[in-house]
Amino acid sequence: MPLSPVTKLLQHCKQALARTGFVLGALVATFLIARSTDAAELVMVEQPGCAWCARWDAEIAPIYPKTAEGAFAPLRRANLRNMPKDLTLSRRVTFTPTFLIVEGGHEMARLEGYPGEDFFWPLLSGLLQDHAGFIAPSASDPDTGHTHAAPDTAHDTDG
């Protein structure tokens, strides 16, 4: 797997610090490099002809990388019939789409099926918080980079 730009930068810092005798800095950089390889990812297991996968692609895929969740757990796609060999699953994937929270190649949690846009975000955020250490930004804080909105409940038709 190619190294991310952050990992390359951390490796460069580690080498520079080690050459100049800053042992503590080199140890910190080593820890950060090790942690970056274990970073969370969202693995979407799909298959050709999956209508719910297509719906997720239309409703979520364009904005996912722009969200706090997407920054924390970048999307990786996998085909149900040709699962990546580097994933260790808690059990076989049966349904598509299935969303796996993965750290260091190991499944930490899963969401089976796509429940629609309004339910997907809180379910995903909860799984990331409970199993991967994600800290959800406040939906009311415009400075957090949280790009998806909570369901709109302000439309009261009684009157």
Does residue 144 sit within a domain?
no
63 & 114 share domain: yes
Secondary structure of residue 70 in the 3-state scheme: helix
Does residue 97 sit within a domain?
yes
Does residue 141 sit within a domain?
no
Does residue 12 sit within a domain?
yes
97: DSSP letter: S
Q: Which structural domain range is residue 57 located in?
A: 40-132
32 & 59 share domain: no
Does residue 28 sit within a domain?
yes
* pLDDT mean across residues, the chain: 78
The residue among 156 and 47 whose pLDDT is bigger is 47
- pLDDT tens-place string over residues 32-50: 444 445 689 999 999 999 9
Q: Which of 82, 127, 121 is nearest to 103 (CA)?
A: 127
- pLDDT tens-place string over residues 72-85: 999 999 999 999 99
User: Which pLDDT score, from 0 to 100, does residue 66 have?
Assistant: 97
Does residue 158 sit within a domain?
no
Does residue 22 sit within a domain?
yes
52 & 104 share domain: yes
- Rounded to 5°, the CA angle 70-76-78 comes to 145
27 & 48 share domain: no
25 & 59 share domain: no
The proportion of the chain whose per-residue pLDDT surpasses 90, expressed as a percent, equals: 60
101 in Cβ contact with 107 (< 8 Å): yes
18 & 45 share domain: no
Instruction: Calculate mean pLDDT across residues 8-18.
Output: 51
When mean pLDDT is compared across 14-23, 29-38, 49-58, 144-153, the lowest value belongs to 144-153
Number of domains in the chain: 2
- For position 97, which CATH number holds? 3.40.30.10
Beta strands in the chain (DSSP E): 40-46, 75-79, 98-103, 106-112
Does residue 26 sit within a domain?
yes
Q: How confident is the model at residue 138 (pLDDT cuts 50, 70, 90)?
A: confident
16 & 84 share domain: no
22 & 48 share domain: no
